[in-house]
Amino acid sequence: MKMSSFKMPLTAVAIAAVALTLVACGKKDGGVQVIKIGHVGPTSGAIAHLGKDNENGAKMAIEELNAAGIKIGDKPVKFELLAEDDAADPKQGTAAAQKLVDAKVNGVIGHLNSGTTIPASQLYNAAGIPQISPSATNPKYTRQGYAGAFRVVADDVHLGGTLGKYAVETLKGKSIAVIDDRTAYGQGVAEEFEKAVKAAGGNLVGHEFTTDKASDFNAILTTLKGKKPDIIFFGGMDAVAGPMLKQMKQLGINAKFMGGDGICTAELAKLAAEGMSDENVYCAEAGGVEGEQKAGMDKFRADFKTKYNAEVQVYAPYVYDAVKVMAQAMVTAGSADPAKYLPALKSINYKGVTGNIAFDEKGDIKNGALTLFTYKGGKREQIAVVR
């Protein structure tokens, strides 16, 4: 065949090759590299207020990074947020994760719940995509041996353990009951709470179960009422805790109510309404700042309120820091390629609004803090920061 017969196919191949190279490099608009950061949380369903809180934290960080004109490897970059909704459902969570994997994101911030974070982490690990959870506290997440799994908050061992000890030693609970919602988070934090109560010499009088979608708790509360608890611990989220508090009051149960970070939100007072009284609810947030670090957190909360006309629920600042940590690792490594910036992420030492962030060999935050709260006048009031 004549050489000229190859001319058009070769040209087409060349054009296609250039196009593929540009896509692979994530470049557009005059050589600016687009870096895709995935975020997943429940932006629909009963705890959508928490998922939106997290997503807004991510948006805030992305906008600030782009405004700062960040360069990676001396090349200008633009960060793009790919936000997905998992509705706090494990199946939807893995579907959302697969979408981000298929989109070839450079990293993922999320998920919010342990029950969605853990199964999704298997997909991210298989694809070699680093993942930082801002709020999943079940210990299993970082104990699967995945090189790219990190979290910026303390886990349930610390969270449930601290609350269990507090229930016995500070609140002087004599008869302590437990309810959990059977999710990875709720069950995990309840089990650690029970271990700590026993270790502190406390008396456990009952353990009942519900679901993360339940709204009628009369049967289990009536069972517990007969055991006369002075403290009831709930492993679950605020959307369930609020109605539970209302029904406790209706049944004349005067026990103090405790829970982990899932109930420790700005929204709980609204959800519980007349079911909440001053200093009757105690909870812990898996994070916390004190001293000089408090000024940074206060500024973040004020800026967040101005930007979104909403109070921070719980974990928006941790999402914000997680995005910034991932970006810093890319800058340090001079690359947004997951395999290239992962070593920098493992050795990061970053001063964020939530405090200093560095990871141990499992991917857990070093020296993680907890903040204990109670509620007065319908608002959270800090008791102490515990490490």
Q: Name all domains of the chain by residue range, CATH numbers in brackets.
A: 24-153+293-366 (3.40.50.2300), 157-285 (3.40.50.2300)
Q: Tell me the CA distances in angstroms from 128 to 6, 107, 123, 136, 186, one per residue in order.
A: 39, 9, 9, 20, 29
Structure tokens at 265: 């939100």
Closest to 80 measured CA to CA, from 40, 38, 41: 38
Q: Per residue in 268-296, pLDDT tens? A: 999 999 999 999 999 998 888 888 889 99
Strand partners, 231: 176, 256
Does 354 score more than 60 pLDDT?
yes
Segment 346-359 mean pLDDT? 96
Strand partners, 32: 28
Does 9 score more than 50 pLDDT?
no
pLDDT at 290: 85
Q: Where are the beta strands (DSSP E) in 316-377?
A: 350-352, 355-357, 370-376
pLDDT at 217: 98
66 CA to centre of own chain? 23
Q: Tell me the CA distances in angstroms from 304 to 55, 342, 368, one per residue in order.
A: 12, 29, 23
Q: Give the alpha-carbon dihedral of 52, 55, 59, 60, to 10 degrees.
A: 70
Token pair 């997680």 is found at 322
Does 1 score more than 90 pLDDT?
no
The contacts of residue 5 (CB under 8 Å, 6+ apart) are none
- In 3-state terms, what secondary structure has residue 348? coil
pLDDT at 288: 87
Closest to 206 measured CA to CA, from 226, 244, 177: 177
DSSP string covering 166-178, please? HHHHTS--SSEEE
Side-chain half-sphere exposure of 342, counting CA atoms within 13 A: 19
Does 17 score more than 70 pLDDT?
no
DSSP string covering 250-300, please? HTT---EEEE-TTT-STTHHHHHGGG--TT-EEEEES----GGGHHHHHHH
Q: Is the pTM of this model over 0.85?
A: yes
Q: Can you give the length of the chain in residues? A: 387
Does 60 score more than 90 pLDDT?
yes
d(CA 335, CA 316): 26
Percentage of residues in the chain having pLDDT higher than 90: 88
pLDDT at 340: 98
pLDDT at 30: 58
